[in-house]
Amino acid sequence: MTSTTPTPLTVLDGAAVADWIRRTSQLISAHADELTALDAAIGDADHGANMKRGLAAAVDALASQPQAPAAVLKQTAMALISKVGGAAGPLYGTFFLRMSTACAGKDALDVDSLAAAVAAGVGGIVQRGSAEAGDKTMIDAWNPALEALNAAAADTSSLAQAVAAAAAAADSGRAATEPMPAKKGRASYLGERSIGHIDPGAASTALIVQALADVVSGSAAGEA
């Protein structure tokens, strides 16, 4: 460990995207028990274990040679789809697959192209899960994160400022799911009894966006 202040990234190249996946795997693994506890309250107590297994497979799938962002995102998508199962596998798989398509041909993503790629990914989740804002799902964390990215892109914030804002927004979105009654997924079967619990999908989304902020700020360096 050094005491020098880490230098934030100005763009996300393929190596940085691969770091994002590794950092996500670390954070999901560290919070797996917490995700499972959230899922046990309103679902079926497997979200932490499933996400940990899927992200570990995604990290294993990363090529040793540097690749373009689109290739890294696609490998991640396929690993999640083929290892996670449940609803989280197709939803996160679709997110990374649509992000990959949106990044086709790019060597690196700036704030604008990152916002566009995340928008494509979130659009995929909405389509696959037919969920809307306020249904108490991962969308309730993704939507504010995307809005923060779009706002940052519009006012020419740096990439680091943009993803930090996105992470904070995703975290607020995660917290905002607590008082909602669930309308999608297994928690919806509980109706009013789902109120008072944070949605596990929103919680894992907040970790994914946090991982991105960590990589861009450089604070994940040395831990990856």
Please report, as ranges, the residues that interact with another protein according to CB under 8 A.
36, 40, 42-46, 48-50, 53, 81-91, 128-129, 181, 183-186, 188-191, 193
Question: To 5 degrees, how large is the angle CA 207–CA 153–CA 27?
Answer: 10
Question: By C-beta, is 120 or 190 nearer to another protein?
Answer: 190
Euclidean distance between CA atoms 42 and 194, whole angstroms: 6
Q: How far is the CB of 84 from another protein (least distance, A)?
A: 7
Q: How far is the CB of 120 from another protein (least distance, A)?
A: 18
Question: To 5 degrees, how large is the angle CA 145–CA 87–CA 201?
Answer: 35
Question: By C-beta, is 65 or 192 nearer to another protein?
Answer: 192
Q: How far is the CB of 45 from another protein (least distance, A)?
A: 4
Euclidean distance between CA atoms 15 and 161, whole angstroms: 20
Question: By C-beta, is 14 or 129 nearer to another protein?
Answer: 129
Question: By C-beta, is 106 or 186 nearer to another protein?
Answer: 186
Q: How far is the CB of 111 from another protein (least distance, A)?
A: 31
Q: How far is the CB of 35 from another protein (least distance, A)?
A: 11
Question: By C-beta, is 19 or 135 nearer to another protein?
Answer: 135
Contact status, residue 215 vs residue 10, Cβ threshold 8 Å:
no
